[in-house]
């Protein structure tokens, strides 16, 4: 979390019907038993204007629901036409904020604002572990547990993290134990801080120990880099991700190329630098991010939610900042809605959470019905941020409820954030 504005954080903010044939992935159209969470009638079908498959937008798509998930199908059987609903708009299997501090924000408001998945990058491990329960009224959560730092290092004295949200280590053995402790409490990644602007940091031996132990435990490492030379240190240690786009120094092209070659990802977090009134740090980060993306680097949407007056939900300013940095529109969408699945024109199964935007993707291109893909160059970059910021997080059951009266559902569309 950037500390260039200390004290700026606000207050915490079993289906019973007949089989429907073959689904659009080519698999037998079968389901298990739906649980009791918002179970819909068996053989209920839903058609939407568009769906994102992790790589591109596809056109009009029909799904069958088992009450919890949406399964793509080619057609609606005659016996089920009375239970076929239409809903305008676009579905996303997920929208992820890759940098949040959930102890400083309202998780239910995040979900209502379109974020279906959230990565918490630092809090009290025992508290954060409680967020791993599958509460469908808020985002699905992944955690790092506590931030690993040196004795007295950032963010111990920064003011935003409560006692226990950081683990201070004095050597390699303590670093390894800190990693293990976080993993045992549910951490699926580890975070270490390198912030020389705030004082001392762990030395290179400790840093390498954190990375080595994390990888031995099967989890990646994300690093807060702040200060001259810290990105190079993180890269040399084998870190997997930067929690922020570097904002205190302009990186040379060779360092950026090496970051890309090693497969490092960067989390954007541009909007924290001025919250709509861009600062010098914003300009540095924007330049670094643009060159990283053009070199082929993997960019992930993240806001550092909890750090100042940021939108609780999909942040249009963050998206606009990424576009202004030179990222193509489709790359920006992939940064928040990418999926680990083959790059093809098939529709994935979706649920139990889903993000819904009440209108089709903003594009100058006219597409035919069916699974016609919208090329990334067809997306309107001017309209994209505000359009995506109208997303809402819903369960599949709630989506079906909305589809019974799409006029009312569309009227309740939130304003862009």
* DSSP string of 21-88, one letter each residue: -BBTTSSB-------SSSPPPTTEEEEEEEEE-SSSEE-SEEEEE-SS-EEEES---GGGGGGEEEEE
* Cα separation values, 220 from 113, 143, 161, 242, Å: 28, 12, 22, 11
pLDDT tens by residue, the chain, 417 residues: 444 443 344 443 433 333 333 344 333 333 333 333 344 456 799 999 999 999 999 999 999 998 899 999 999 999 888 899 999 999 999 999 999 999 999 999 999 999 999 999 999 999 999 999 989 999 999 999 999 999 999 999 999 999 999 999 999 999 999 999 999 999 999 999 999 999 999 999 999 999 999 999 999 999 999 999 999 999 999 999 999 999 999 999 999 999 999 999 999 999 999 999 999 999 999 999 999 999 999 999 999 999 999 999 999 999 999 999 999 999 999 999 999 888 888 999 999 999 999 999 998 654 444 444 565 558 999 999 999 999 999 999 999 888 765 444 443 444 445
Taken as a whole, the chain contains a residue count of 417
- Residue ranges of alpha helices (H) inside 217-315 are 230-237, 253-261, 280-294
pLDDT of residue 13: 40
Query: Would you say 102 and 128 are in contact if contact means Cβ atoms under 8 Å apart?
Result: yes
d(CA 93, CA 351): 7
Helix or strand or coil: residue 280? helix
d(CA 417, CA 138): 18
Query: Would you say 349 and 380 are in contact if contact means Cβ atoms under 8 Å apart?
Result: no
Tokens of 187: 């951490």
Non-local (6+) Cβ contacts of 208 within 8 A are 237, 238
Kind of pairing, strands 117-120 and 44-52? unpaired
d(CA 390, CA 113): 7
* Cα separation values, 262 from 331, 374, 375, Å: 19, 31, 28
pLDDT of residue 373: 53
Nearest to 182 by CA among 107, 128, 239, 134: 128
For the chain, report the end-to-end CA distance as a whole number of angstroms.
Answer: 21
pLDDT of residue 343: 85
* Cα separation values, 8 from 3, 144, 266, 274, 318, Å: 9, 23, 24, 11, 18
């Amino acid at each position: 979390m950037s500390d260039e504005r200390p004290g700026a954080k606000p207050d915490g903010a079993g289906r019973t019907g007949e089989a429907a044939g073959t689904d659009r992935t080519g698999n037998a159209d079968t389901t298990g038993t739906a649980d009791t969470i918002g179970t819909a009638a068996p053989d209920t079908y839903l058609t939407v204007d568009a769906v994102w498959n992790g790589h591109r937008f596809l056109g009009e798509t029909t799904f069958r629901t088992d009450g919890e998930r949406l399964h793509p199908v080619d057609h609606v059987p005659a016996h089920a036409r009375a239970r076929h609903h239409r809903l305008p708009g676009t579905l996303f299997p997920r929208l992820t904020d890759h940098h949040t501090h959930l102890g400083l924000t309202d998780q239910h408001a995040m979900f209502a604002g379109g974020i279906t998945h959230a990565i918490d990058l630092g809090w009290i491990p025992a508290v954060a572990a409680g967020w791993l329960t599958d509460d469908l009224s808020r985002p699905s959560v992944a955690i790092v547990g506590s931030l690993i730092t040196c004795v007295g290092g950032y963010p111990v004295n920064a003011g935003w993290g409560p006692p226990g949200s950081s683990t201070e280590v004095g050597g390699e053995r303590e670093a390894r134990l800190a990693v293990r402790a976080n993993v045992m409490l549910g951490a699926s990644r580890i975070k270490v801080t390198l912030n020389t602007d705030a004082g001392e940091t762990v030395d290179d031996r400790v840093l390498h120990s954190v990375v080595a132990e994390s990888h031995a435990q099967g989890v990646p490492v994300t690093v807060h880099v702040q200060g001259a030379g810290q990105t190079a240190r993180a890269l040399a240690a084998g870190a997997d991700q930067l929690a922020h786009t570097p904002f205190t120094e302009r990186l040379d092209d060779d360092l950026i190329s090496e970051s890309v070659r090693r497969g490092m990802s960067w989390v954007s977090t541009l909007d924290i630098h001025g919250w709509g009134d861009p600062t010098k740090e914003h300009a540095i980060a924007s330049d670094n991010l643009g060159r990283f993306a053009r070199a082929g680097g993997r960019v992930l949407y993240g806001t550092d939610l909890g750090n100042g007056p940021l939108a609780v939900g999909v942040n249009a300013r963050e998206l606009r900042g990424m576009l202004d940095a030179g990222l193509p529109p489709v790359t920006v969408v992939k940064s928040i809605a990418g999926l680990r699945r083959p790059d093809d024109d098939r529709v994935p199964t979706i649920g139990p959470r889903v993000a819904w935007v009440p209108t089709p993707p903003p594009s100058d291109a006219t597409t035919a019905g069916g699974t016609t893909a919208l090329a990334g160059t067809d997306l309107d970059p001017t309209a994209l941020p505000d359009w995506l910021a109208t997303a809402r997080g819903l369960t599949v059951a709630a989506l079906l409820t909305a589809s019974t009266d799409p006029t009312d559902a569309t009227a309740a569309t939130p304003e862009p954030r």
